[in-house]
Structure 1
């Protein structure tokens, strides 16, 4: 964009609301003219005799014009949020159609510092510290994590030789696993990073050829699913402002994408959600913690959860059953933290869903014990630069977790596991070998 008052500006959209009586309303991205003006333009499908459009900045109306059906108006360029408002009905006043935030390019390229006093870093912290970074419109992002999320997003790069070897081996084994274990369908799913889907809220520019782009170029023709654009179309609802993960609604969108790929009934997944307040894994890093409202499942899954080994993260195994689900098969998911509510979403479709916390790492022993009809290998985008844990034992991870517990914790865990119903003992006894 051109310079204005000595600085380069960036403009990003936040939200949209379509007035029902006006039909489709298009609002173009504001464009700069000269050094100190922005041009807003748009089109109203059903304007009647003309619809008044107002541009507001803060508490000030900075311009008004008439859409009949198109409109164009220029306003003074200012930092902050511009609201494009039109009347929904004559008796209802004005309604916000779109909001746009205008920031200078320095803020576009640097970490935002508006919440430093609340614990958000002013710049990227050292790798491994895992902190929250404030993006636009209150969106928080992960920064300083061991996978270097910022670096993966902003730097061009390629997979290491070890990573290429690991992924090549995994994809080559998929047809063998189908034959050996009698699996009907097998797929790998990459859960898109929040900054991938909400990139215009992220305070760093995306590189053109990242390590993940290299992964997709190498393996995009394999059975790999990346529901980036399905989530993008509903992205305001798919990622929580204070969390790195997709919401329950976002997990449902990803699950629907998978079922469609498998030619299974995607409409079995929920269409109605509750609005719940959540602090999130990023909101918890702020002082004081910050929460947001997001779309969450309405059902209580305790009735479907028939087994859980109680191991935290790596080594965790859960089984959900839903006799009312339309798909009689049994789905086994090897996934990470994105896979937890993805598993719950898919329990609306499959009568049985088993989940093992091992990102995209198929364990043949567990497959034999579960005997699934469908297998999903799920992993988060920021983990793809490594190699999958193909062949690693989920039970070995569980044994290590048990060994690391205090004696009292271990005794309680063992007693609880041994009390599991007989049908689940094949998932318990390996933890004691």
Structure 2
């Protein structure tokens, strides 16, 4: 959370990170880490005042050096001694649903807002493994409750797979088309997951109904023997290692045996999207790709999530073909391997929904429709219009970059194969 407020004659800029950990008795501990200052004068508020519903008041005074904040706000160096201790840090324990936050300046308290206690978003398993919870797809329930499919769910997925078969038949040049589901961590790490598995979880019902459809690929059996490296403790998605195992198994399914880049990795420590939500933050080692990749990114429309298009060109490919992947966040890890293998990789963020017009434009030899296990609760659409989605995102400034979209787009010159993408991508200031 961050913002700026006119308080007590000052324009106070602030940024707050809130971590938390649930206690056995139902209370929660919150780790508040923030900075506050007036970047024009270097003034720092006297205190951050937290008032619990039960009346408890906690007063945090500035005591933490935050040089990063001074640099971010471009504070003149002459003001650094005055503003250096602009950081506030403290732990709050409460069973209340919310607590009020105020900023105290010159003895006067000014309301900043309310921090609400949300639902659990991380489940702690055994041996330090963290799992996604509180998501809109209710991942824990997908694992721990028996799933009874409704007629609309079955009909929706049947329509999707029928559309996939139609795409394969009507698009010339497609040699292989795969529907790939990235497994949830708990599926391959059930023995450390804190919930008891259902007899008929959603994934088992899905595999029973659709697992024999042409092109269906479920990589959990490939990942399970290497699960400690295929996933990491603090991240939702698979690692570069897990994504590569999946890609290699898919190439084998397609009877492709290209020369492989060296299977080199470096160990990196990070908190991940799950570890970052804990208090204190939990860090984990993960194997990150370190193999040579001659591919070059030649296009990115910078649309945020759905509608994003990226294109890589590889001058020395092991497979002289174009591959398209209509995927989600997990596909980013796959592209690190696929772009080192194929001559051209077009990655489109649609969570597994194809765009026939885009396929017709690229005429790829191989197509991957990638989604994630937790998204199987809702049938995917048969098709989408990616350029229309991207146009809406870009015009609303929903971008993966800060600053000028037009300036960032200048890096893409009309190289062979991206002319249409440039023509159909709006450019905004």
Q: TM-score, normalised by structure 1?
A: 0.67
1:313 aligns with 2:305: yes
Q: Which moved more, 1:179-188 or 1:261-270?
A: 261-270
Asked if structure 1 preserves the Cα contact closer than 8 Å seen for 2:294 and 2:315, the reply is: no
> 2:251 and 2:412 mapped to 1: Cα distance?
31
> 1:157 and 1:133 mapped to 2: Cα distance?
21
**Residue number in structure 1 paired with 2:145:** 155
Matched position secondary structure for 1:428: helix
> 1:139 and 1:399 mapped to 2: Cα distance?
39
Give the counterpart of 1:367 among 340, 359, 372. 359
> What are the superposed Cα offsets for residues 35-70 of structure 1, whole Å, 9 maximum, x if unpaired?
xxxxxxxxxxxxxxxxxxxxxxxxxxxxxxxxxxxx
Asked if structure 2 preserves the Cα contact closer than 8 Å seen for 1:331 and 1:374, the reply is: yes
- Aligned pairs (5 A) from 1:60-209: 113=24, 117=29, 131-182=121-172, 183-209=174-200
The 1:194–1:122 alpha-carbon spacing in structure 2 relative to 1, beyond 3 Å, is farther
Matched position secondary structure for 1:348: coil
Greater RCO (CA < 8 Å, at least 6 residues apart): 2
Q: Gapped runs of 5+ residues in structure 2?
A: 1-21, 32-92, 98-115
Give the counterpart of 2:389 among 381, 385, 397. 397
**Residue number in structure 2 paired with 1:278:** 270
Number of matched pairs: 320
Give the counterpart of 1:243 among 235, 238, 254. 235
Give the counterpart of 1:420 among 408, 412, 423. 412
Over aligned residue pairs, what C-alpha RMSD do you find? 3.1
The 1:159–1:393 alpha-carbon spacing in structure 2 relative to 1, beyond 3 Å, is farther
The 1:160–1:342 alpha-carbon spacing in structure 2 relative to 1, beyond 3 Å, is farther
Q: Gapped runs of 5+ residues in structure 1?
A: 1-110
**Residue number in structure 2 paired with 1:90:** none
**Residue number in structure 1 paired with 2:375:** 383
The 1:328–1:301 alpha-carbon spacing in structure 2 relative to 1, beyond 3 Å, is closer
Asked if structure 1 preserves the Cα contact closer than 8 Å seen for 2:133 and 2:140, the reply is: yes
The 1:371–1:406 alpha-carbon spacing in structure 2 relative to 1, beyond 3 Å, is closer
**Residue number in structure 2 paired with 1:66:** none
Deviation at 1:325, TM superposition (A): 2.7
> 2:152 and 2:94 mapped to 1: Cα distance?
35
> 2:201 and 2:270 mapped to 1: Cα distance?
32
> 2:299 and 2:398 mapped to 1: Cα distance?
23
The 1:286–1:303 alpha-carbon spacing in structure 2 relative to 1, beyond 3 Å, is same
> 2:23 and 2:192 mapped to 1: Cα distance?
11
Q: TM-score, normalised by structure 2?
A: 0.68
**Residue number in structure 2 paired with 1:219:** 210
Matched position secondary structure for 2:377: coil
> What are the superposed Cα offsets for residues 334-372 of structure 1, whole Å, 9 maximum, x if unpaired?
001111111212223212211111011001121122221
Give the counterpart of 1:328 among 316, 320, 323. 320
> 1:131 and 1:302 mapped to 2: Cα distance?
39
